[in-house]
Homo-oligomer: A and B are copies of this chain.
Amino acid sequence: MPRQSASVRDKDGARLAEGVRQGDRLQLARAITLAEREDPRAPELLAALYPATGHAQIIGITGAPGTGKSTLVTALAQHLRAANQSVAIVAIDPTSPFTGGAILGDRVRMRALSGDAGVFIRSMATRGSLGGLSKTTGDVVTILDAAGFDRILVETVGVGQAEVEIATMAHTTLVVEAPGLGDEIQAIKAGILEIADILVVNKADRPGVDKTVQALEMMLALEPGGSRQVRHHGQLLQVNSPSRTHEEQAWRVKVLKTIASEDEGVAELVAQMDRHRQWLLSSGEWAVRERLRAAHTLESILRAELTRRIVARMPTDGLSDLVEAIRRRDTDPYHAAASLIASW
A227 within 8 A of B: no
List residues of chain B with CB within 8 A of the CB of A320. Answer: 239-240
Interface stretch among A17-25, A74-82, A292-300?
Answer: A292-300
A162 within 8 A of B: yes
* Cα distance, A334 to B161, chains bound together (Å): 24
Q: Mark A155-179, 1 if CB is under 8 A from B, else 0.
A: 0010111111000000000000000
Interface stretch among A209-217, A270-278, A323-331?
Answer: A323-331
Q: A65-B185, A101-B190, A333-B297 are in contact. Are A162 and B159 (CB under 8 A)?
A: no
* Cα distance, A104 to B336, chains bound together (Å): 39
A104–B290 CB distance below 8 A: no
List residues of chain B with CB within 8 A of the CB of A43. Answer: 334
List residues of chain B with CB within 8 A of the CB of A190. Answer: 95, 99, 101
* Cα distance, A184 to B245, chains bound together (Å): 38
List residues of chain B with CB within 8 A of the CB of A305. Answer: 337-338, 341
List residues of chain B with CB within 8 A of the CB of A191. Answer: 94-99, 101
Nearest Cβ in chain B — how far from A181, in angstroms?
5
* Cα distance, A334 to B322, chains bound together (Å): 36
A66–B336 CB distance below 8 A: no
A311 within 8 A of B: yes
A310 within 8 A of B: yes
A208 within 8 A of B: no
Q: Of all chain B residues, which has the CB nearest A127? A: B161
A130 within 8 A of B: yes
Copies of this chain, tallied across the complex:
2
A236 within 8 A of B: yes
Interface stretch among A47-55, A111-119, A260-268?
Answer: A47-55
* Cα distance, A63 to B49, chains bound together (Å): 40
List residues of chain B with CB within 8 A of the CB of A291. Answer: 323-324, 327
A297–B326 CB distance below 8 A: yes
Q: Of all chain B residues, which has the CB nearest A160? A: B160
Q: Of all chain B residues, which has the CB nearest A95? A: B191
Q: Of all chain B residues, which has the CB nearest A319? A: B237
Q: Mark A6-27, 1 if CB is under 8 A from B, else 0.
A: 0000000000000000000000
B46–A332 CB distance below 8 A: yes
Selected A-B contacts with CB under 8 Å, 19 pairs: A54-B329, A65-B185, A94-B187, A96-B191, A97-B191, A98-B231, A99-B190, A101-B187, A103-B187, A104-B184, A127-B161, A160-B160, A160-B163, A236-B310, A236-B314, A290-B327, A302-B310, A302-B341, A306-B306
Considering the complex of A and B, which 9 residue pairs feature the smallest CB-CB distances, nearest first?
A: A96-B191, A160-B160, A50-B332, A294-B326, A47-B334, A301-B337, A66-B182, A98-B194, A95-B191
